[in-house]
Chains A and B, each alone.
Chain A
Amino acid sequence: MIIIGELINTSRDGLESAVKGRDVELIQDLAKKQEEAGADYIDVNCGTLLKEEPEALEWLVNIVQEVVDVPLCVDTPNTKALKRGLAAHEGRALVNSITAEEERFAETLEIIKEHDARVVALVMDDDGMPKGAEDRIKVGSKLIEDLTTSGIAEEDIFVDPIIQPIGTDQEVGQHILDAVEEIKKDYEEVHITCGLSNISHGLPERQLLNRTFLILAMSRGLDSAIIDPLDPKIMALLTAADTLLGNDQYCANYIQTVKSKE
């Protein structure tokens, strides 16, 4: 599993003021903790800063890279901010995200090619958010085809099937799971990732739904997730699920993880 640590995001409590106040210590501490907990990428998102976003994103990339060895996931739909963030990044970043919206696709593609970045591809286009499994598969496949034709390797693409609330449409879980399986079947090298928290919007005990959905999606081919790596419950479930799905030779990772906690 490729884990993208989601905690450095100004829409979370206290983070906007930390970024505005350029609180190096708080941000670096959050970054280090996530790396230690097993994050493969550290997501940085300061979209709520609006006009000040480009400068703040550059700052975030710089100070986070000072203290972690893993690459960052530069998370913004704002191309100006994306450029600044990537220019500051050393090594190969992951960009979150590109979509099949014509304008955004062209602009973002140019930037990711220039910086040799990997990319999260959200399955939405100019017709809007995906409606069912079919829509997700169609837009996802188009994104993969268009990206690979432009020279992006399949293994550098992370398709995000877009999680929507089960509270507003009780079939959406099934649609997402079917789409994950189908896309993974057609494009073996492509990664599938997603943020989970949308699934439980408006419902009680949200963590229970988030965790359960993660495991269901992993069983259908999800191999990456945008999560809180400091949540020991979700990390334990992840490790166990990975082992049960046959991704852990001699169960070495599982055993080691358990032993390290004893």
Chain B
Amino acid sequence: MSNELFEKAADAICDADVERAEELAQIALDEGIAPLEMIEKGYTAGINEVGRLFDRGELFLPQLMGCAEAMKSATAILKEAAAEQGSESEESIKVVLGTVQGDVHDIGKGIVASILEANGIEVHDLGTDVAVEDFIETAKEVDADIIGTSALLTTTMGVSEELLKTLDEEDLRGEFKVMVGGGPVTKRWADKIGADGYAENANEAVSKIKELVD
């Protein structure tokens, strides 16, 4: 019975069906299925499949975002229930995210935040025009695993390099992995400045983050 429910939950995510995903979360609770098990075996299986389909070019960006929406709504219900029951969820990966100082582009970074959250990653989104010190301050505060920067201008890309230097100077380079992304940013440039990772799109960011933290 619960296997069938897990499958339905995964399908609801793949179909980006927010209502159905929420409804199934409620059914799982009514049937006494452990909320965290429902997330893991149902919804997470779904969002993983979504990631695979996106990689293969079978799903497109708006669909990916719709699936993420369904994922977030359904898992919010289950996580709340799990907290009430006192069951601990596994410590999630923490990412501090922002668009660098001097740059106010927010769309791409917003997509990344949304897709990371849907994949169970805890995101601290600092918004746009974020100073190097603010990235570092927040990363220390929340004990982040990863700092992710976005830059959409060739004139602001250099800020990520500054971030790496500052981390070095403050002896914090070993504490946080740094990932970079954004329109003009390339894998080659990321390697050149010594960043730990680069992702071309939100979906790639998920796997890269998991790989880095593993």
Contacts and interface: CB of A to CB of B under 8 A. Distances in A.
B86 interface: no
Contact of B60 (A11, A77, A202): A202
Given A53-B154, A167-B60, A168-B111, A129 B65 contact: no
Nearest to A166: B62
B106 interface: yes
B33 interface: no
A195 interface: no
Contacts of B111: 168
B61 A164 contact: no
B62 A128 contact: no
B105 interface: yes
Contacts, number: 53
B184 A48 contact: yes
Contacts of B75: none
A202 B62 contact: yes
B61 A167 contact: yes
A201 B107 CA distance: 11
Interface string A142-184: 0000000000000000000000111110100000000000000
A196 interface: no
B85 interface: no
A128 B106 contact: yes
Given A11-B184, A203-B62, A168 B154 contact: no
Q: Which applies to chain B's interface (DSSP): helix, strand, loop or mixed?
A: loop
Most buried by B among A11, A165, A167, A170: A167
B104 interface: yes
B212 to A, nearest CB: 24
A114 to B, nearest CB: 20
A166 B61 CA distance: 10
B104 A48 contact: no
B190 interface: no
Contacts of A202: 60-62, 64
A85 interface: no
B153 interface: yes
Contact of B154 (A50, A170, A203): A50
A47 interface: yes
B58 to A, nearest CB: 10
B155 A77 contact: yes
Given A48-B154, A53-B154, A77-B153, A164 B62 contact: no
Contacts of A77: 153-155
B104 A124 contact: yes
Nearest to B201: A202
B23 to A, nearest CB: 24
A126 B129 CA distance: 9
A143 to B, nearest CB: 15
A128 B152 CA distance: 13
A168 B68 CA distance: 12
A78 interface: yes
Interface in B141-158: 153-155, 157-158
A165 B61 contact: yes
Given A11-B184, A202-B61, A129 B107 contact: yes
Interface string A191-203: 0000000000111
B160 interface: no
A165 B110 CA distance: 13
Contacts of A47: 153-155, 184
A124 B106 CA distance: 12
Given A50-B154, A77-B153, A168 B104 contact: no
Contacts of A204: 60
B64 to A, nearest CB: 8
A97 B56 CA distance: 37
Contacts of B107: 129, 164-165, 168
Interface of B: 60-62, 64-65, 104-107, 110-111, 128-129, 153-155, 157-158, 183-184
14 contacts: A11-B183, A48-B184, A50-B157, A77-B153, A77-B154, A128-B104, A129-B104, A129-B105, A168-B111, A170-B62, A201-B61, A202-B61, A203-B62, A204-B60
